Structure formats: structure tokens, C-alpha cells
């Protein structure tokens, strides 16, 4: 804790005053309209924009951007409208894998790029993704809805596409958290304990976990 001579709190008060003045009605309306215009073109932004929502920003900066390399190949599972896809465009090649053609059509509206390949799968596979070539796999907002047998099938299939030393980052439902357990009926029954066991059983080494940043889910990073 800072000592009593710290200016921390007076500085916070100052900036809070400035913040209040920025909260005038016309300014709030202007900012709301600007926010709406900026984000409404990407399906899924209603769940939170990683540009502005602090925990999502943290996920972007800590679990996504450090892995993006222009000589690496990536797979995103369940890209939706591209809320996270936009941070993966710096990869040499990105395979965006989704089960629903409607969602791939939505993604195509904003992400028809030469280095992005849209892949429709049958639920847990990677058709057309070259074996042993993938450096990074990312999934957010998808595994939270998947039941264990589908997660296990995905994990088994991920082993086939990875390069040695690749990183897999998956956000999954954490029903140890009350929000996943009681407030979000679409969230699957899963916990860090179950997820760890499934990841280990598929032959991966767990490198890192984040059980605290998100209020309804957790993150795990693993490699082969």
C-alpha cells in the first residue's frame, strides 16, 4: 500500500473530475453513437469489445498478440463475426474453423483476406488444415458452449495439426464460477479440474492457466 504522502488518490480525484465533465449528456450521446458505429459491423461485439473491456483487452494483450507472427500458421476455432479474428490477421496463414456455414458467411463479410482460409467442419475436425503445420490455436466464446465429448474430440484432432512447440489457447466454461453455473444457461458444464484432465489425457503439456481474469470462464495454454 502506498504511504500517506502519496498523490495517488488526489490524482485519481482530479481525473475523476475531468471524467465527470466528460459525462455531459451531449458528450455521452456522441460517444455512444461513435461506439455503436465502430462496433456494430462485427457480430458478437455485444459480448464485449476487446478494445475497450478491460478483461478482454487483457486476454488480447496477454494470450493473443504475443503469439502473432508473420511466419507462423494459426487456427481459430469458432470465429463468429471476427471479434478476435481481427487480431490474428498478422499470421502468415489463418484457418478460421466453424461448424455453422451461416457464421462463416458472416465472417466472410469482413475477413475475406488472402491469408484467411474459412473452414467449415463437422464439429471437431480440421478439414483442409495441413497436418503438423500449425503454430498457434485460439478459441474464445466457442468451447464455453461445448460438452466434454466434443472438447475431447477437438483435443484429439488438434494433436494432428500442431507443429512441435505450438501453443494452444482455449477459453472454456468454468462452472466453479457462479456466473457460468447459474446465470448463463448456454454455458457447458466444465471446470479447470475437468479441462486439465482432458488436456492431459490427450497427451498435451499444460503451460499456463488463467482462472481469474474472466468472470464466467477460464483460459488454458498447452502444447504437445
Ligand X SMILES: C[S@@+](CC[C@H](N)C(=O)[O-])C[C@H]1O[C@@H](n2cnc3c(N)ncnc32)[C@H](O)[C@@H]1O
The answer to the question of residue 140 lying near ligand X (CB under 6 A) is yes
In this chain, which stretch among 14-22, 72-80, 111-119, 192-200 interacts with ligand X, using CB under 6 A? 72-80
The answer to the question of residue 78 lying near ligand X (CB under 6 A) is yes
In this chain, which stretch among 13-21, 71-79, 109-117, 197-205 interacts with ligand X, using CB under 6 A? 71-79
Of the chain, the end-to-end C-alpha distance in Å amounts to: 41
Of the pair 95, 222, the CB lying nearest ligand X is at 95
Of the pair 170, 199, the CB lying nearest ligand X is at 170
Residue whose beta carbon is closest to ligand X: 80
- Tell the smallest beta-carbon distance from residue 178 to ligand X (Å): 20
- Tell the smallest beta-carbon distance from residue 42 to ligand X (Å): 8
Distance CA 6, CA 166 (A): 45
Distance CA 25, CA 15 (A): 19
Coil, helix or strand at residue 219: strand
The answer to the question of residue 99 lying near ligand X (CB under 6 A) is yes
Coil, helix or strand at residue 134: strand
In this chain, which stretch among 33-41, 66-74, 77-85, 128-136 interacts with ligand X, using CB under 6 A? 77-85
Distance CA 76, CA 209 (A): 19
**Complete edge-to-edge strand list for the sheet that includes strand 134-139:** 116-120, 93-98, 73-77, 134-139, 162-173, 217-223, 205-210
Cβ atoms < 10 Å from Cβ of 48: 18
Q: Which residues bind ligand X (CB under 6 A)?
A: 44, 47, 77-80, 83-84, 97-100, 103, 121, 123, 140-142, 146, 150
Amino acid at each position: 500500500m502506498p504511504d500517506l504522502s502519496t498523490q495517488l488518490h488526489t490524482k485519481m480525484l482530479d481525473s475523476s473530475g475531468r471524467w465527470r465533465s466528460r459525462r455531459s449528456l451531449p458528450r455521452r450521446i456522441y460517444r455512444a453513437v461513435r461506439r455503436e458505429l465502430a462496433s456494430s459491423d462485427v457480430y458478437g461485439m455485444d459480448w464485449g469489445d476487446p478494445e475497450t473491456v478491460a478483461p478482454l483487452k487483457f486476454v488480447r494483450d496477454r494470450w493473443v498478440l504475443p503469439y502473432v507472427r508473420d511466419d507462423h500458421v494459426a487456427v481459430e476455432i469458432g470465429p463468429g463475426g471476427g471479434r478476435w479474428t481481427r487480431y490474428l490477421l498478422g499470421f502468415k496463414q489463418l484457418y478460421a474453423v466453424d461448424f455453422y456455414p451461416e457464421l462463416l458467411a458472416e465472417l466472410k463479410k469482413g475477413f475475406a483476406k488472402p491469408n484467411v482460409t474459412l473452414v467449415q467442419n463437422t464439429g471437431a475436425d480440421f478439414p483442409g488444415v495441413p497436418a503438423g503445420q500449425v503454430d498457434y490455436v485460439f478459441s474464445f466464446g466457442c468451447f464455453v458452449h461445448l460438452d466434454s465429448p466434443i472438447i475431447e474430440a477437438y483435443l484429439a484432432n488438434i494433436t494432428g495439426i500442431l507443429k512441435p512447440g505450438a501453443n494452444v489457447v482455449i477459453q472454456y466454461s468454468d462452472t466453479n464460477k457462479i456466473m457460468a453455473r447459474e446465470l448463463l444457461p448456454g454455458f457447458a458444464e466444465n471446470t479447470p479440474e475437468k479441462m486439465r484432465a482432458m488436456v492431459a489425457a490427450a497427451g498435451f503439456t499444460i503451460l499456463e492457466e488463467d482462472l481469474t481474469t474472466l468472470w464466467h470462464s477460464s483460459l488454458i495454454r498447452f502444447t504437445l
